[in-house]
Amino acid sequence: MKKYFKSVSDKIKLPVFFPDATRGVIKTLDTKDIESAKTPGILVNTYHLYRELGEEAIQNHHGIKGFMRWKGAVISDSGGFQVMTLAKTNHGGKVTDEGATFWQEGGEILLTPEKSIEFQMILRSDMVVVLDDFTQPQATYEQARESVERTVLWAKRSKETFSKLCQKKKIPEIKRPYILGVVHGGDYLDLRQECTQRLVEIGFDGLGYGGWPIMADGQFNYDVAKIIAQNAPNNYFLYGLGVGKPHEIVNCVKLGYSIFDCVLPTRDARHKRLYIYNANSIDDIDLNQKKFYSYYTPDKMIYRKKDVPISHACDCLLCQNYSRAYLAHLFKIKELTAMRLSTIHNLRFYSILMEKLQTDSFKKT
């Protein structure tokens, strides 16, 4: 199994969680805040940055890290999620073998596998992700089959573009970013297996669990996670794209997954949902407990007028400095600072989670 994720500046311990800095910013935070939450890496969105920022500003700053002044690792997703949510739905565009067309105010944008890789190389991410044809939730077998075929087709072209660009830019093997393939096939295990094998034939540094990991009954689909893990070479990264809740991450780590990203900690924070460990100190946290964490809603809880911290098992800006009463007040008056402090807290919750998972007892045997 992989032991580290290398970025230009550092080797990052695995497993690692990358929160979403979609447009080059984690909502309500500045880059120093991300550092203060001890977050080793972030995920940026190729489609949104391509559309809203363009190449000039990024190139003037020598990549997204310079633009954000971010010293940690960066993964750029491919825009595949937007293919599903924007181009495939609500008449927002169309998808052909050439690529995905998005109908925007002021014209249409064609995102091809080649363009996605090219822009990600301009972003100078540490890991680029191939454009994928996202299998819709509850897809029929035929629909899932079609998305697998197109995903594999696009993966080939992405890999070719990637190799050409690395040669053209004379990037030595050791300094190339990682390139990730994305496995599709919905809930059909045979399609997932086939997709995994065909992507491995093309050759990548890792594979992502693509599509919705949540089944119609609301349960996480661990069978798909397993079939990908079983068919991936041992030296591949396994990446739970968009995963997930803390206990889902714990379970996926046990299956060999080591990279995760998810909007949950940041989005939940902005909606007054804070994660707290059921423990009295960071040392006391026990991920083997059945219910090792809880949600905390600032204005609904007792002690909301008291001078006590949100959590004793946290060392974030919020928990080290402010009281439950102050946070409840900030949310009550709809002050943005409440969202920022809560976001930093939830990110620190996730970075503590990953630190705990880096101990040997949770590694896949």
Q: How far apart are CA 361 and CA 353, in angstroms?
A: 13
Helical spans, DSSP H, in the chain: 31-36, 46-52, 54-60, 64-68, 80-82, 113-123, 141-168, 189-202, 222-231, 246-254, 264-270, 317-321, 324-332, 336-357
Of positions 13, 27, 94, 156, contacts a second copy by CB under 8 A:
27
Nearer to a second copy, 52 or 284 (CB): 52
Q: How far apart are CA 352 and CA 8, in angstroms?
A: 23
Of positions 190, 223, 286, 335, contacts a second copy by CB under 8 A:
335
Q: Which stretch binds a second copy (CB under 8 A): 129-137, 207-215, 249-257, 327-335?
A: 327-335
30 binds a second copy (CB under 8 A): yes
CB 266 within 8 A of CB 248: no
CB of 346 to a second copy, least distance (A): 16
* CA atoms lying within 13 Å on the CB side of residue 22: 14
CB of 274 to a second copy, least distance (A): 16
- Indicate which residue of 33, 77, 133, 205 is catalytic: 77
341 binds a second copy (CB under 8 A): yes
Q: How far apart are CA 208 and CA 196, in angstroms?
A: 9
Q: Which residues within the stretch 46-75 sit at the binding site for a second copy (CB under 8 A)? A: 52-53, 56-57, 60-61, 66-69
Nearer to a second copy, 31 or 120 (CB): 31
31 binds a second copy (CB under 8 A): yes
Phi, psi of 340 (to 5 degrees): -65, -50
CB of 80 to a second copy, least distance (A): 21
Nearer to a second copy, 313 or 330 (CB): 330
330 binds a second copy (CB under 8 A): yes
20 belongs to the catalytic site: no
Phi, psi of 179 (to 5 degrees): -120, 130
Which residue from 259, 267, 262 is spatially nearest to 126, judged by alpha carbons? 259
CB 153 within 8 A of CB 99: no
CB 12 within 8 A of CB 5: yes
336 binds a second copy (CB under 8 A): yes
CB 264 within 8 A of CB 243: no
Of positions 197, 230, 297, 321, contacts a second copy by CB under 8 A:
321
Phi, psi of 261 (to 5 degrees): -145, 155
217 belongs to the catalytic site: no
CB of 192 to a second copy, least distance (A): 36
325 binds a second copy (CB under 8 A): yes
332 binds a second copy (CB under 8 A): yes
307 binds a second copy (CB under 8 A): yes
Which residue from 103, 215, 111, 216 is spatially nearest to 154, judged by alpha carbons? 111
CB of 299 to a second copy, least distance (A): 12
CB of 306 to a second copy, least distance (A): 6
Task: Print burial letters for 31-58: b (CB count within 10 Å at least 16), e (below 16).
Answer: bebbebbbbbbbbbbbbebbbeeeeeeb
Of positions 337, 355, 358, 362, contacts a second copy by CB under 8 A:
337
CB 92 within 8 A of CB 103: yes
Nearer to a second copy, 34 or 259 (CB): 34
Residue found under tokens 């509850």: 138
110 binds a second copy (CB under 8 A): no
CB of 187 to a second copy, least distance (A): 35
CB 242 within 8 A of CB 182: no
Q: Using the 8-state DSSP alphabet, how is residue 97 labeled?
A: S
Catalytic residue annotation: 77, 261
Binding residues vs a second copy (CB under 8 A): 23-25, 27-32, 52-53, 56-57, 60-61, 66-69, 305-307, 317, 321-323, 325-326, 329-330, 332-333, 335-337, 339-341
